[in-house]
Chains A and B, each alone.
Chain A
Amino acid sequence: MAQTSQFCTFYLDKLLFGVELKGVQEVIRSLDMTKVPLAPEVVTGLINLRGQIVTAVDLRARLGLASRPAGALAMNVVVRSDDGAVSLLVDEIGDVVEVDENTFEPPPETLRCPVREMIPGVHKLDDRLMHVLDIEKACQMADVTTAATAAR
């Protein structure tokens, strides 16, 4: 019997992503956000999560996807990273799925480089593919992005 693990899934630009359930603190609806001027563009702002200030990272921007259509509210997937809680902004929340490791496969070679390090692979679900997202990598601001924004 292969080992199974649980993933919290969500959608970004119609793609299905999943983060390991044990790294997820909570999922909440859109909250009031304070913008941070001069911040890297992937950082959407700061939210007040019951007295805790959490940085919100726009996953669409982080993964190089098209930006969210205006007016569409994002969901917050609050994950625990090494550096405290970080909120990942996603389009829509999916189910919690249980996958077994047999369905895992590393990403194809054709996947572009910057995104590649955040996506260690995909799980082949029955009807579609679920991209596995590495929480630490996603929360870590790649030097390239920060350097570029800092130079602006």
Chain B
Amino acid sequence: MVDAVRQMLNQIEISGQEGERDDSLLISTLTRLQQVPETPAKSAAAELKIPFEPAVAPPIGDILMERTGVTQAEIQLAADMQKKGDPRHMGEILVEQGAVRPADVVEALKIQQAARTQAALSDSTIRVDVGLLDKVMNLVGELVLARNQVLQFASRMKDTGFVAVSQRLNLITTELQEGVMKTRMQPIGNIWGQFPRTVRDVALGCGKEVGIEMEGKETELDKTIIEAIKDPLTHLVRNSVDQGIELPDDRVKGGKARSGRLILRAFHEGGQVNIEISDDGAGLDADRIRKKALERGVITTEQAAHMAEREVFNLIFLPGFSTAEKVTNVSGRGVGMDVVKTNVEKIGGTVDVQSTRGQGTTVRVKIPLTLAIIPALVVTCGGDRYAIPQVSLIELVRLKAEEVGKGIELVHGAPVYRLRGRLLPLVYLNRELKLAEKPSTSKDDGAVNIIVLQADGRQFGLVVDHINDTEEIVVKPLRKQLKTVKTFAGSSIMGDGKVALILDVLGLAQRASVITETRDRAVTGKAAETASAKEEKQTFLLFAGPGDSRMAIPLSTLARLEEFPANQVEMSGSQWVAQYRGQILPLIRLSVVLEERRNKLRSLEALPSVDSGPIQVLVLNHDGRTFGLVVERIVDIVEDRADVRTPATRPTVLYSVVIGDRVTEMLDIPTILRKASIPAARLKAVQTPPEVVN
């Protein structure tokens, strides 16, 4: 009916006056609706011999009219007969008149019954303020902790009566907790309810015929999550109708039914909720996505050739990517899928797309059941416990003491582990968090625990002292005093009442420079993966200079990478030096030679403090001279064409270049040498071949 009203409005808009359409049916429906408040009791009672109840169930005549070809007049006739004293039911009269088949009447009665039950159900629910629910939930949390303490007491008590009471308390509390949790859960059907409308509107708008089917409406999710996924799901549904399903004529040509099918499925699986949105439309065109991605420079030709179909499909989630040929009011603007992905990831979920050419596309969204309680791996590091959300966890690796030596290798001080043939960068949690090293007592077994984590498409191994167990933890946000600490996502209270911090895997990865920025991932990651040796490419050593700026030198100038403990650095005049292979190696600090006034003042600064950890030094050979360049940290060795160059902004830099999607400054070694004003004579001395000294 809303459709009819809308059509009318459209017509009025176009012609400026009421249309010619025959609105008699609509008008009669409207009139009847107006009468409903007085009639339902009467008609319901009359038709079904059910005791009087103020049900909102529609009269059977209406249901029949909607589902079968019965006309208003026929029903009116039957109703008139009833009024005149005909004791038969509406359905019976209609069947007798030959207007409907008996089966239809039975079905209509079922519908009516269902509507009535639903009406009765709605009477048994009440609305509760969410704030109140939260408060109740907090109180239950406190109760649980109090219960835990009582149980501890009870275990020491000999009074059997008390023990029995405390066990009862235990049971009730657990049930109460579950019950309160449930109050926050809502069936996903609540947000799906509006989808048929959305689908119809979009389908009408682009001249398609689409039927929507839903499975698992009753799947329950936490209220906050329901709210968070509403918009992404709506977008996905609109997208499927607008882009996935073909026009009716094309469908017929392709040997499919005229009307497309959109299927929404929701189900629980492994502590997560899966939501699938499938259409039986054209499917994604991998070649077209590849072409588009190439045009936009998202991937290189080489990458395109290597990419698996699945990877290609997932390109549609990149920002600004759209395969739609024309922009409609629904899609094709290139925003949307990336927003969907961001929003789903924000609540700890994942999005994945699968598609078969000509048969349809399925978008699968996996989201956690609730945000308030998450499964997490509890680890110990530096004597404190930390929780790692299980969503970012991939696997656990335990290296026995004898394997540690050859298992963990160093790429110039940066520890890596060969995980099935691939290098996995290792991050030591106690170093990142500046905690005490693993106490020597527990070093007996010497085993190393590596937790393989995934952050933003990159994997890294987190080394911790001890892995405790997995636990369901209640997430509590951190207060603003700690908002600046990016390595923690929140806190939680453990079973013994102590507070444990929840690690933010993304923040930790950023801190450890596993990933540099939230957005330069995927592309760089894949670039590094697929980069194979190519003649025109040069190899660069990437490192971080002062202020985390990205710098590079050609690998050919590099002699060695070294790491000096801070206490091995000595002063010679205002110059840092270190003993290196029996020689004196002058150390040039980048922070000093780079044109920054602030840093120049620091040039007379004393030796590096011991607690700042070892210093990273690039040992360079230039023009027959050997010297060390002190850098903040080594980033990577990359091969790149380095063809996007811009002139340098400071004298010590040759040019700026984009490597792996980040602007990188190519250092000018001769100028740096001049700036550092290392006397040539001393350099010559240093240059003496090692054999002679040794």
Do these two chains interact? yes
CA distance A141 to B483 in the complex (A): 10
A47 touches B142 (CB 8 A): no
Does chain A have a CB within 8 A of B145? yes
Q: Given A38-B433, A38-B485, A149-B484, do A86 and B501 touch, yes or no (CB 8 Å)?
A: no
Residues of B within 8 A of A108 (CB): none
Contact of A37 among B435, B478, B481 (CB under 8 A): B435
B434 within 8 A of A: yes
Assess the B138–A46 pair: CB atoms within 8 A.
no
Which of B138, B434, B484: most chain A Cβ within 10 A? B484
The answer to whether A40 touches B481, judged by C-beta atoms less than 8 angstroms apart, is yes
In the bound assembly, the distance between CA atoms of A37 and B382 in angstroms comes to 10
Contact A32 B480 (CB under 8 A): no
Instruction: Report the separation of the CA atoms of residues A139 and B480 in the bound assembly, to the nearest whole angstrom.
Output: 9
Q: Are B480 and A53 in touch, CB under 8 angstroms? A: no
CA distance A139 to B481 in the complex (A): 8
Q: Which residues of B contact A45 (CB under 8 A)?
A: 499
Do A57 and B487 have beta carbons less than 8 Å apart? no
Given contacts A48-B497, A51-B142, A83-B479, are A146 and B484 in contact (CB under 8 A)?
yes
B482 touches A55 (CB 8 A): yes
Instruction: Please state if B481 and A34 are interface contacts (CB–CB under 8 Å).
Output: no
Q: Specify which chain A residues have a CB less than 8 angstroms from the CB of B138 in the assembled complex.
A: 51-52
Total A-B contacts with CB atoms under 8 angstroms apart? 77
Q: What residues of B have a CB within 8 angstroms of the CB of A146 in the complex?
A: 484
Q: Which residues of chain A come closer than 8 Å to B500, judged between CB atoms?
A: 34
Does A86 contact B479, Cβ atoms closer than 8 Å? yes
Q: Who on chain A is nearest to B492 by CB?
A: A53
Chain B contacts of A84 at CB under 8 A?
A: 479
- The complex places the Cα of A83 from the Cα of B499 at a distance, in Å, of 19
List the A side residues contacting B482 at CB < 8 Å: 36, 39-40, 43, 55
A50–B142 touching, CB < 8 Å: yes
Report yes or no: A35 in contact with B485, Cβ–Cβ below 8 A: no
Chain A nearest Cβ from B1, distance in angstroms = 49
* Contact of A43 with B481 in the complex, beta carbons under 8 Å: yes
Asked whether A2 is an interface residue with its Cβ less than 8 Å from the other chain, the reply is: no
A55-B481, A141-B481 known; A34 vs B499 contact (CB < 8 Å): yes
A66: CB under 8 A from chain B? no
Q: Which of A119-152 contact B (CB under 8 A)?
A: 139-141, 146, 149-150
Interface bits A82-114 vs B (CB < 8 Å: 1, else 0): 011010000000000000000000000000000
A36 contacts B485, CB within 8 Å?
A: yes
In the complex, A68 Cα to B463 Cα: how many Å?
A: 34
Which chain B residue has the least Cβ–Cβ distance from A32? B498
B435 contacts across to A, CB distance below 8 A = 37
- Nearest-Cβ distance from residue A70 to partner chain B, whole angstroms: 17
A51 touching B145, Cβ below 8 Å: yes
| B43 interfacial by beta-carbon distance below 8 Å | no
Total contacting residues, chain B, CB less than 8 A: 29
> In chain B between 257 and 298, which residues have their CB closer than 8 angstroms to a CB of chain A?
none
Of the candidates B382, B435, B476, B480, the one having the most CB atoms from chain A within 10 angstroms of its own CB is B480
CA distance A116 to B378 in the complex (A): 43
* Cβ of B385 to closest chain A Cβ, rounded Å: 8
For residues 38 through 79 of chain A, which have their beta carbon under 8 Å from a beta carbon of chain B? Answer: 38-40, 42-43, 45-48, 50-53, 55, 57
**Partner of A50 from B145, B488, B492 at Cβ < 8 Å:** B145
A96, B416: Cα distance in complex, Å: 59
How far apart are A130's CB and chain B's nearest CB, in angstroms? 25
* Number of residues of chain A lying within 8 A (CB) of chain B: 30
Minimum CB–CB distance from B506 to chain A (whole Å) comes to: 15
B493 at the interface (CB under 8 A from A): yes
CB neighbours of B144 from chain A (8 A): 51
Question: Do residues B479 and A48 form an inter-chain contact, with CB atoms below 8 A?
Answer: no
Say yes or no: A36-B498 contact (C-beta < 8 A), given A50-B142, A55-B479: no
Which label, helix, strand, loop or mixed, suits the secondary structure of the B interface?
Answer: mixed
In the assembled complex, how far is the CB of residue A138 from the closest CB belonging to chain B, in whole angstroms?
A: 11
Q: Are B384 and A46 in contact, CB atoms less than 8 angstroms apart?
A: no
A53 pairs with B498, CB closer than 8 A: no
Please, how many angstroms separate the alpha-carbon atoms of A37 and B498 in the complex?
16
Q: Is B499 a contact partner of A46 (Cβ separation < 8 A)?
A: yes
Contact of B434 with A38 in the complex, beta carbons under 8 Å: yes
Kindly state the separation between the CA atoms of A148 and B476 in the bound complex, as whole angstroms.
26
Q: What 1/0 flags go to B468-497 for Cβ under 8 Å of A? A: 000000001011111011011001110001
B515 CB → nearest A CB, Å: 18
* Cross-chain contact of B499 among A39, A47, A139 (Cβ < 8 A): A47
Tell me the B426-445 residues at the A interface (CB within 8 Å): 433-435
A107 and B479 CA atoms in complex are apart in Å by 30
Complex alpha-carbon distance, A45 and B499, angstroms:
9
The answer to whether B493 and A36 have CB atoms under 8 Å apart is: no
Q: Does B141 contact A (CB under 8 A)?
A: yes
Give Cα distance in the complex from A40 to B488, angstroms.
13
Q: Is the Cβ of A53 less than 8 Å from the Cβ of B476?
A: yes
Least Cβ–Cβ distance between A59 and chain B, in angstroms: 13
Assess the B434–A37 pair: CB atoms within 8 A.
yes
A39 to B108, CA, bound (A): 66
B476: chain A residues within 8 A (beta carbon): 52-53
A residues less than 8 Å from B487 (CB atoms): 37-38
Scan residues 291-316 of chain B and give those whose CB is less than 8 A from a CB of chain A: none
CB distance from A42 to the nearest CB of B (A): 8
A48 touches B498 (CB 8 A): yes
Assess the A35–B384 pair: CB atoms within 8 A. yes
Q: In this complex, which of B144, B478, B482 has the most chain A Cβ atoms within 10 angstroms of its Cβ?
A: B482
Question: Do the beta carbons of B499 and A48 come within 8 Å of each other?
Answer: yes
* C-alpha spacing A146/B141, complex, angstroms: 32
Rounded to whole Å, the gap between the CB of B627 and the closest CB of chain A is: 29
Cβ–Cβ < 8 Å partners of A37 in chain B:
382, 433-435, 487
A40 / chain B contacts, CB cutoff of 8 Å: 481-482, 484
Q: How far is the CB of B612 from chain A (nearest CB, A)?
A: 10
Most chain B beta-carbon contacts within 10 A, residue among A36, A40, A149: A36
CA of A61 to CA of B498, assembled, Å:
24
Distance (whole angstroms) from the CB of A112 to the closest CB of chain B: 22
From B488, B498, B499, name the one whose CB has the most chain A CB atoms within 10 angstroms: B499
Tell me the bound Cα distance from A56 to B433 in angstroms: 19
Give min CB distance, A57 to chain B, whole Å: 7
Contact B141 A86 (CB under 8 A): no
CB proximity of A53 to chain B, nearest CB, Å: 5
Does A51 lie within 8 Å of B434, measured CB to CB?
Answer: no
Q: Are A86 and B499 in contact (CB under 8 A)?
A: no
Q: Is the CB of A57 within 8 A of B481?
A: yes
Contacts of B485 in A (CB 8 A): 36, 38-39
A86–B433 Cα gap in the complex (Å)?
24
Q: How far is the CA of A38 from the CA of B484 in the complex (A)?
A: 9
Residues of chain B within 8 A (CB-CB) of A83 are: 479-480
Across the interface, name the chain B residue whose C-beta is closest to A57.
B481
- Which listed residue (A36, A57, A149) contacts B501, Cβ 8 A? A36
8 pairs, A vs B, C-beta closer than 8 Å? A36-B485, A40-B482, A46-B499, A48-B145, A50-B146, A51-B142, A51-B145, A55-B482
Nearest first, the 8 A-B pairs at minimum CB distance are A37-B433, A51-B142, A34-B499, A51-B141, A46-B499, A55-B479, A53-B476, A146-B484
* Residues of B participating in the A interface, judged by any CB pair closer than 8 Å: 138, 141-142, 144-146, 382, 384, 433-435, 476, 478-482, 484-485, 487-488, 491-493, 497-501
